[in-house]
């Protein structure tokens, strides 16, 4: 289904999009837009409805938002042949029969919906992962600020007086440490929970998830534990 909302003032594009989405249970709505405000407003509306979309840019402000509604697209990892049972074969035959009953147009739309949904999910997961990891790293750095002054002075000759502002964060060392460890722990739990889905994922984050998370974990561990082993470095410097 196509919807032309070019040159329309807000909130008309959002209202038309809402009306169009309510007119069908399952399908893809292609909304053509050429104003920045309408593009952002429809993105926010679609996200608030729990729907996924794909953006195709035709010009600086000319885009087509392809919104998926009603499709549940999941990717399951391959099942080893030795674990396939007669019931699995029966389900496979039933699935093939259901697919064969679809028209080529319906099949193409279903595949397109699957691609849009999967791509949107992967982008959303990547944003969440990097945001949380960055937050954990920042929390770890703030957790170590109570003792960074002497080390920076020892290594770079930076005046300790100019770093006095770092002491502002010292009373919150425990809170920053807990936040950093909590974020890293959650990301490892999220990796364990979604490891089967990542078998079928080909994005850069899926391929390097454990590498990025391991490096982030190492950095967080070093910075959070810094106040305990910093004394040894200072003694060696003396």
Residues 60-98 pLDDT 10s? 889 999 998 876 644 444 445 555 455 444 445 544 555
Contacts of the segment 160-164: beta carbons below 8 A, 24+ positions apart: none
Does residue 81 sit within a domain? no
Residue 186 has pLDDT above 90, yes or no: yes
For the segment 15-34, the average pLDDT, to the nearest whole number, is 90
**Residue where a domain stops, chosen among 25, 52, 69:** 69
Task: Indicate the average pLDDT of the chain.
Answer: 76
| CATH number, domain with residue 37 | 3.30.110.40
Does residue 79 sit within a domain? no
Q: What is the bridge-based pairing of β-strands 27-33 and 63-69?
A: antiparallel
Residue ranges making up the domain that contains 12: 2-69
**Residue where a domain stops, chosen among 53, 69, 85:** 69
Q: How far is CA 99 from the centre of its chain?
A: 31
- Residue 178 — very low, low, confident or very high, per pLDDT cuts 50/70/90? very high
Do the beta carbons of residue 13 and residue 5 sit within 8 Å? Answer: yes
Same domain? For 136 and 227 the reply is yes
Residue 99 has pLDDT above 80, yes or no: no
Same domain? For 136 and 214 the reply is yes
- Rounded to whole angstroms, the Cα distance separating 202 from 118 reads 11
Same domain? For 130 and 229 the reply is yes
The pLDDT value recorded for residue 60 is 82
The pLDDT value recorded for residue 208 is 84
Token representation of residue 214: 């391991």
Token representation of residue 54: 């794909």
- Rounded to whole angstroms, the Cα distance separating 117 from 20 reads 19
Place of tokens 């930076």: 158
Same domain? For 139 and 233 the reply is yes
Does residue 225 sit within a domain? yes
Does residue 43 sit within a domain? yes
For the segment 42-63, the average pLDDT, to the nearest whole number, is 88
Does residue 62 sit within a domain? yes
The pLDDT value recorded for residue 181 is 94
Do the beta carbons of residue 143 and residue 225 sit within 8 Å? Answer: no
Same domain? For 138 and 205 the reply is yes
Q: pLDDT of 150-171, one tens digit each?
A: 555 555 555 555 556 566 767 7
For the segment 112-117, the average pLDDT, to the nearest whole number, is 76
Same domain? For 131 and 216 the reply is yes
The pLDDT value recorded for residue 188 is 92
The pLDDT value recorded for residue 54 is 86
Do the beta carbons of residue 173 and residue 227 sit within 8 Å? Answer: yes
Does residue 52 sit within a domain? yes
Same domain? For 59 and 130 the reply is no
Specify the number of domains making up the chain. Answer: 2
The pLDDT value recorded for residue 202 is 61
Does residue 151 sit within a domain? yes
Same domain? For 148 and 47 the reply is no
First to last CA, the chain: 74
The pLDDT value recorded for residue 158 is 53
Does residue 98 sit within a domain? no
Question: For 76, which DSSP code?
Answer: P
Which residues, listed in sequence order, are joined to residue 69 by a DSSP beta bridge? 27
Same domain? For 214 and 147 the reply is yes
The pLDDT value recorded for residue 76 is 47
Q: pLDDT of 193-212, one tens digit each?
A: 877 666 556 677 777 888 99
pTM across the whole model: 0.58
The pLDDT value recorded for residue 163 is 56
Residue 3 has pLDDT above 80, yes or no: yes
Residue closest to 15 by CA, chosen among 41, 40, 34, 35: 41
Q: How far is CA 125 from the centre of its chain?
A: 2
- Residue with more model confidence, 80 or 222: 222
Please, what sign has the CA dihedral across residues 39, 45, 46, 50?
positive
For the segment 203-225, the average pLDDT, to the nearest whole number, is 87
Residue closest to 42 by CA, chosen among 26, 22, 66: 66
């Amino acid at each position: 289904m196509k919807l032309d909302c070019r040159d329309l003032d807000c909130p008309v594009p959002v209202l038309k999009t809402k009306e169009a989405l309510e007119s069908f249970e399952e399908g893809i709505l292609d909304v053509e837009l050429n104003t920045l405000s309408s593009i952002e407003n429809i993105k926010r509306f679609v996200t608030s409805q729990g729907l996924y979309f794909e953006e195709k840019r035709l010009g600086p402000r000319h885009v087509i938002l392809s919104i998926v509604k009603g499709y549940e697209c999941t990717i399951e990892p391959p099942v080893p042949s030795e674990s396939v049972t007669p019931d699995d074969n029966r389900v496979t035959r039933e699935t093939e029969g259901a697919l064969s009953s679809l028209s080529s147009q319906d099949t193409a739309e279903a595949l397109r919906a699957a691609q849009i949904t999967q791509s949107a999910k992967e982008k959303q997961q990547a944003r969440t992962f990097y945001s949380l990891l960055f937050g954990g790293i920042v929390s770890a750095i703030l957790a170590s600020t109570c003792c960074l002054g002497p080390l920076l002075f020892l290594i770079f000759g930076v005046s300790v007086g100019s770093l006095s502002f770092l002491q502002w964060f010292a009373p919150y060392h425990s809170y920053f440490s807990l936040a950093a460890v909590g974020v890293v722990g959650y990301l490892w739990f999220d990796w364990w929970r979604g490891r089967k889905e990542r078998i079928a994922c080909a994005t850069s984050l899926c391929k390097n998830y454990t590498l990025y998370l391991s490096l982030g974990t190492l950095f967080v561990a070093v910075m959070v534990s810094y106040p305990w082993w910093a004394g040894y470095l200072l003694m060696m410097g003396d």
